[in-house]
Amino acid sequence: MVLGPADAVVAMTLVSLVLSGSSAVRERAHVDVAVASRLVAAGVLGMPLGLLLLRYAGDRILQVLMAVTVLGALILVLARVRVPPSRLTGSVSGVLSGVLLTSTGMNGPPLVLGVFAVRPEPRRFRGTLQAVLAAQDLAAVLGFVVIGLGVGALLPCVAVGVLASRGGWWAGDLVFVRIPVRAFDRVVAVALGASAAILLLGHLG
């Protein structure tokens, strides 16, 4: 809402890289390496298309794409859609996450569905998701540099985002250990709904 969509994508990805990287290291014992590897590899394949959208699509198109992405994931989670745990699921989820990461900064929704497909317990879900996010974020940042986006100019915004997000992460950790397994889907849905509402308010503004 503060930056233009293209700058926001780069800044969000850099913030995510710092946060997800540190979390992935901390949660490394809970990472499903096979699932994570498939999602990361497929994500890299989808990133060139996302970079093209980021480079040439207008700001309004990017804003709408961001909101639709989160709303779509919210609907799927609320409907308790469970995609089958297969290599095809990992490939499709991964490719979509790569496209969305480099065009909207939001690779989380398809990754959530892709990791949910193997029905992990919450700790393994979080560890695997953070490992994939960190690896994809790193690849995306390299892509931003290749196409000439101003990564360095956004570092002050990234620093503010990292500091603010660390506070949110600390609060989230306190809540995470208290979430019953049966309520985990509902918590994910609430988070997606809040994200969609913020994006739509920014779009309408």
Quick check: 115 and 128 in contact, CB under 8 A? Answer: yes
Q: What is the pLDDT along the chain (205 residues), one digit of tens a residue?
A: 677 777 888 888 998 898 888 888 888 888 888 888 888 999 999 999 999 988 887 777 777 777 777 677 667 666 666 666 677 777 888 898 898 889 888 787 778 777 766 666 777 888 888 899 999 999 999 999 888 887 777 888 888 888 888 788 788 778 777 777 667 767 777 776 776 666 666 555 5
Give the model's pLDDT for residue 81: 61
Nearest-CA neighbor of 107 among 1, 203, 12?
A: 12
Give the model's pLDDT for residue 162: 86
For residue 4, the SS3 value is coil
Give the model's pLDDT for residue 200: 62
Give the model's pLDDT for residue 143: 92
Q: What is the pLDDT of residues 90-128, one digit of tens each?
A: 788 889 889 888 988 878 777 877 776 666 677 788 888
- Rounded CA gap, 150 and 137, in Å? 16
Give the model's pLDDT for residue 85: 65
Find all residues with CB under 8 Å of 128, minimum gap 6, and list them: 30, 31, 32, 35, 36, 115, 120
Give the model's pLDDT for residue 54: 86
Find all residues with CB under 8 Å of 132, minimum gap 6, and list them: 36, 39, 40, 43, 97, 111, 115
Quick check: 131 and 31 in contact, CB under 8 A? Answer: yes
